[in-house]
Structures are given as C-alpha cells and as structure tokens.
C-alpha cells in the first residue's frame, strides 16, 4: 500500500495543474539531454501551445502566458532549451538544428496533441530548424516572435549594423557575463513579468556556461542560412514583430516568403513583446489559434 501511495503522489505532482498554475518537470530530449519544462492546463485540452525561449532565457519568461492560456482552455508547455535554465548542459550540439531534436522529443514524450509551436528570438531559429528536420505533421500551426530566421553569413551584408552590435557584445559577455546579462535583460523588455525580477532572470541566464553561450549565439546567427527552411512551413504561421525591432523589415520579408503567414506588429514593446504587452500578444496568438482548422495536426 505504501508503494502505491508513493506512485500516486508522484503522478499527482507531475500532472498539469487544472487551476492555471504551472507545474515543473523534466522530460528526455535528444542526445541524452534532459529538458526542464513548465506546464499548465488540462492534458486533454483541444490545443497545446509549446513555447520555446530565447538565448539563455528560461521558461519562466513565459509565466504570464502559462497562466493566461491555461485559464482559456489550452494546454501550455514552456521549456528551458538545452544548456539553459534547469535543462542539461550539453558539451556540444548546441545549434538550433540540435535543439530541433529536443522539441521533437518533448512533443513525443509529453504526448502533446494539436500543437502550436511558438519560438521567440533564438527560439525562432529552433522552430525553423525543427520544420526543416521534421516537417509539420506534428503541429497545427507555428509562430515566430520578433526574429527573422538567420541568413547566416549573408546577414553580415544585409544587416551589418545589427550584426556588428551582436559581435561586439560577445567580447563584453566573455569578460563580464553577469553585467552583460543584466544589460541584455534590461534591453529586451521594459519590465519583467510580475512573477519574476531582473535579478532572477540574470540568475537563470548565468546557468549557461559562457563558452557554451558564445557557441550558441554564433551558431544561431552567423553559421547557417535558414531562409530555405521557410518553404517547408506547410502549416499556418503567425509572425509577430516588435514595432521597435531593428529587424522589422527583415521580419516583414520573412512573412512574405512563408507559404501561409499572417504578419502583425506590436507597438510600445521591446524585443520580449509578450512581456511588455502581454494582453495584446495573447489576444493575437489566441485569435490565430482559434482560426486554425480543427484537426490540422497529428493526434
């Protein structure tokens, strides 16, 4: 009897919270890494939102969306990408093309159904790599948040000012990662989510080793042209950009290259548009989800 009580308690602790409050867990990724996630909402919900964060940012950045969408009938999962937050630190294999394997494993291991895959910043590179590697059979829709997919070396000519800022920042990050991380967090949002603070976001970012962080960013932005991946986006895709983005035109052009895209801009928001304008972001994403075909993805 004692054994069954322990098993039951473990199952209850791992189950998604029905009241909209998120619970934490771990699930296998690819290459033997372990992926940490936050989850809210009912497992039998008709739609699932899978949130992929940006560079060195943990799943806690999506706290407002976990609460909102769980309360509005969605199953919601937000992950710490490999080498970020509480997920395993991978010695190698930290490119978007590697993280794509983690996304596929998360979908399979958690038995996610009717998934809308939402990637912000670095997460947009991960979503593009996922589509190129695995297609769109397992998802109903996709969302790319405030980031065009990388043109790799081509961005050095297309967006020289932005790429120069990124490259120069790597030297600062290498010398003083804590100060760099704090400056980054203050730059990408006007204020943190109500449930967290700049200090806690900095702490989470510091869990990524500096050398790993540099490798990740270089592979995100400088090494691979992911624009050819766009033609494989066979499901409806929502592109949301910040009105303040230095890459606004590039995102607009990306939307034009996607087969089934809706493009929208959120004003008065920095890079983390869902933090600065959560109600606007949530309305746009919810409307997109509600407009999707009922049985677009794989059960």
Q: What's the sign of the alpha-carbon dihedral 99, 142, 13, 11? A: negative
Q: What is the mean pLDDT of residues 68-90?
A: 98
Q: What percent of the chain has pLDDT over 70?
A: 92
The b-or-e profile of 66-103 (16+ CB within 10 A means b, else e) is bbbbbebebbbbbbbbbbbbbbbebeebbbbbbbbbbb
Domains and CATH numbers, the chain: 15-290 (3.40.50.1820)
**pTM score of the predicted model:** 0.91
Going by pLDDT thresholds of 50, 70 and 90, the confidence category of residue 160 is confident
Q: How far apart are CA 104 and CA 109, in angstroms?
A: 9
Q: What is the pLDDT of residue 10?
A: 36
Q: What is the pLDDT of residue 157?
A: 83
The DSSP bridge pattern shows strands 34-40 and 75-79 to be antiparallel
Could you read off the pLDDT of 241-286 as tens digits, one per residue?
A: 999 999 999 999 999 999 999 999 999 999 999 999 999 999 999 9
Going by pLDDT thresholds of 50, 70 and 90, the confidence category of residue 296 is low
Residue 137 region, left (φ>0) first, then alpha (ψ -120 to 50), else beta?
A: alpha
With 80 as the cut, is the pLDDT of residue 298 above it?
Answer: no
Q: How far apart are CA 80 and CA 241, in angstroms?
A: 22
| DSSP for 228-248, written as a single string | GGGGG--S-EEEEEETT-TTH
Could you read off the pLDDT of 36-53 as tens digits, one per residue?
A: 999 999 999 999 999 999
């Amino acid at each position: 009897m004692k054994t069954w009580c322990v098993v039951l308690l473990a199952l209850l602790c791992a189950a998604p919270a029905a009241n909209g409050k998120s619970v934490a867990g771990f699930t296998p990724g690819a290459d033997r890494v372990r992926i940490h996630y936050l989850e809210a909402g009912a497992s039998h919900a008709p739609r699932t939102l899978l949130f992929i964060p940006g560079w060195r940012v943990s799943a806690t950045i999506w706290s407002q969306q976990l609460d909102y969408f769980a309360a509005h009938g969605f199953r919601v999962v937000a992950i710490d990408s490999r080498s970020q937050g509480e997920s395993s630190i991978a010695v190698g294999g930290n490119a978007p093309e590697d993280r794509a394997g983690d996304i596929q494993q998360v979908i399979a291991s958690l038995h996610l159904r009717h998934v809308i895959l939402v990637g912000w910043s670095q997460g947009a590179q991960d979503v593009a790599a996922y589509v190129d590697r695995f297609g769109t059979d397992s998802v109903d829709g996709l969302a790319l948040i405030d980031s065009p997919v990388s043109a790799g070396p081509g961005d050095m000519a297309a967006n020289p000012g932005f790429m120069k800022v990124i490259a120069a920042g790597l030297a600062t990050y290498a010398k003083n990662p804590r100060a760099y991380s704090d400056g980054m967090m203050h730059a990408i949002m006007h204020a943190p989510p109500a449930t967290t603070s700049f200090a806690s976001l900095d702490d989470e970012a510091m869990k990524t080793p500096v050398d790993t962080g540099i490798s990740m960013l270089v592979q995100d932005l400088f090494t691979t042209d992911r624009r050819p991946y766009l033609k494989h986006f066979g499901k409806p895709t929502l592109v949301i950009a910040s009105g303040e983005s230095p890459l606004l035109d590039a995102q607009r052009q990306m939307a034009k290259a996607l087969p089934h895209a809706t493009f929208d801009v959120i004003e008065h928001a920095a890079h983390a548009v869902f933090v600065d304008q959560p109600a606007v972001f949530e309305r746009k994403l919810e409307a997109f989800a509600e407009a999707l075909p009922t049985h677009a993805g794989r059960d």
